Amino acid sequence: MVRDDEFGSLKAFNFSELLSKIPELKLLEHEIDTLSFENPLDSSDFSIVEYQKLADIIYKNYECYDGFVVLHGSDTMSYTASALSFMLENLAKPIIFTGSQLPIGDLRTDAKENLISSIQIAGLKQNGISVIKEIGLYFEYKLYRANRTTKASAEHFNAFDSPNYPPLIESGVNLKVNQTAIRKVRKEKLIILHQDLEDKILLLKLFPGLDPIVFKALINIPHVKGIVLESFGSGNFKTEDWFINGIKEKIEQSIPVVNVTQCIGGQVVMGKYYTSQRLQKIGIISGKDMTTESALGKMMYLLPKGLSMKVFKTIFETSLRGEVTE
C-alpha cells in the first residue's frame, strides 16, 4: 500500500513505480519481473478464489523463474501462505511472502528492508541450487516456514511469530541460514497444483461460558463439512455430555473435527488430561502443534479428496509440508 498524498488514506501500490519508491533494487544482481492483480484486494477480503488465482500464477510460471516473492497484506498473510503450501506440492524453489506494517513511502516504513531481503532470499543459491525449497514468510529480519507462522502483533515491526519452529534464515550483516531447519529435497519431482479447495469449514474458539444452545446451533449450521476447534491448553475441552455428544454426532456424520490449541505456542496432546480422553475415543483429530491458519489450510486441501474418516485422520496428523512436528 501507499499513502494518498491528498487524502492521507491508504491505496493500492502501482508496481510500475517500484524502482522510484525503492531505488536500492537497482543494486541487486537479480532480474526482476513484476505482476499485479488487475484489481488489488485488501488481504482481509481474500478467499479461496484468490488462493487459487495466486497458486495458478506461480504454477504456470514455475519453470521461468528461480524464485517468487509475494507481496501480501500482513493481516491474513499466514492464512494465504499456509493454504498455498498445501496447494503446491513438490516445491523445489522458494516462494517468499512478505509485506509491511507501514506503507511504502512512509518515512519509517519497514517495506524496503522486507522486500529487498525477500528478493535476496528468493535468489539465494548454493552450488547453483536454491537454498530455500518451500514457502517462507519474511518479516523483520527473519524468514519463517510460512505454515508455522501466525500474526502476533498489530503494532510492532516483528509482526509474525513461529512459536513451534525456528526461523529458517536470520538477516543481519549476513544471511544466516539454519541448515537443520530448512526443508531438504533429495530428489526433485514435477510440481503438482491442487486447485480444489473446500471453504465450508467452521472455526470455533472455545471459552468457559459457551452456551449449549449456541454451540449446538453453530455445529449444526447446514453445509458445514469440517470443524476446527480451538481448545484450552494442551487440547482440553468441556466434559459435559451436551458438548461431547454434539461432537460425536458430527464425527458420526463423517464431518472431521480437528483439535488445535488456542495457545500461541505448544501443542495438543490428546488424552493427557481427562478432559480430552473422551473426545480422543470418539475420533477427534489431533492438530498437534499446528497453527490454526495451517489447520484451516490443510482441511481446505484435504476435504475435496473424498477420503474416509480413518484415512483423513491419519493424513491430517501426518506432516505433509513441514506444518507439524512428528
Q: What is the pLDDT of residues 245-264, one digit of tens each?
A: 999 999 999 999 999 999 99
CA-to-CA distance for 302 and 130, rounded, in angstroms? Answer: 29
Query: Reduced to 3 states, what is the DSSP secondary structure of residue 246?
Result: helix
**Of 294, 18, 271, the residue nearest 146 (C-alpha):** 294
Lowest mean pLDDT, pick from 4-8, 208-212, 286-290, 314-318: 4-8
**Stretch 296-310: mean pLDDT, rounded?**
97
The overall average pLDDT reported for the chain is 92
Q: Is 187 helix (H, G, I), strand (E, B) or coil?
A: coil
Q: Give the contacts of 299 (CB within 8 A, at least 6 positions apart).
A: 198, 201, 226, 228, 256, 258, 316
Q: Quick check: helix, strand or coil at residue 249?
A: helix
To the nearest 10°, the Cα dihedral for 207, 209, 213, 216?
20
Q: Which residue has the cell 524468514?
A: 143
Quick check: do 2-193 and 201-316 share a fold? yes
CA distance 315 to 318: 5
Query: Mean pLDDT, to the nearest integer, of 116-145?
Result: 96
Segments in the chain forming alpha helices (H):
18-21, 48-60, 77-87, 111-122, 212-219, 241-252, 274-281, 292-302, 309-316
234 Cβ contact list (under 8 Å, min separation 6): 261, 266, 267, 268, 269, 272, 273, 276
Of the candidates 184, 195, 191, 194, the residue with the CA atom closest to the CA atom of residue 61: 191
Band of the pLDDT at 243, cuts 50, 70, 90?
A: very high
| pLDDT score, position 276 | 72
Is 229 in contact with 204 (CB distance < 8 Å)? yes
Rg (CA), the chain: 21
pLDDT at 230 (0 to 100): 97
- Domains of the chain, residue spans: 2-193, 201-316
pLDDT in the model for residue 34: 87
Average pLDDT for residues 132-146, to the nearest whole number? 97
Q: β-pairing, 226-231 with 257-261?
A: parallel
Q: Is residue 14 very low, low, confident or very high in pLDDT (cuts 50, 70, 90)?
A: low
- The confidence score (pLDDT) of residue 111 equals 82
Q: Between these two residues, 215 and 25, which has the higher pLDDT value?
A: 215
Q: What percent of the chain has pLDDT over 90?
A: 73
Band (27; pLDDT cuts 50, 70, 90)? confident
pTM of this structure: 0.93
CATH architecture of 2-193: 3-Layer(aba) Sandwich (3.40)
Domain range 201-316, its CATH number among 3.40.50.40, 3.40.50.720, 3.30.420.40, 3.30.360.10:
3.40.50.40
Half-sphere exposure of residue 195, counting CA atoms within 13 Å on the CB side?
A: 9
pLDDT band at 16 (very low <50, low <70, confident <90, very high): low
Per-residue confidence at 15, pLDDT binned at 50, 70, 90?
Answer: low
**CA-CA distance, 78 to 294, in Å (whole number)?**
8
- The number of helix segments (H) and strand segments (E) in the chain equals 9, 18
Say which residue the cell 515491526 belongs to: 157
Query: Which percentage of the chain shows pLDDT scores above 70?
Result: 94
- Is 90 exceeded by the pLDDT of residue 314? yes
pLDDT, tens digit (0-9, with 9 covering 90-100), for 91-129: 999 999 998 888 776 778 888 889 999 999 999 999 999
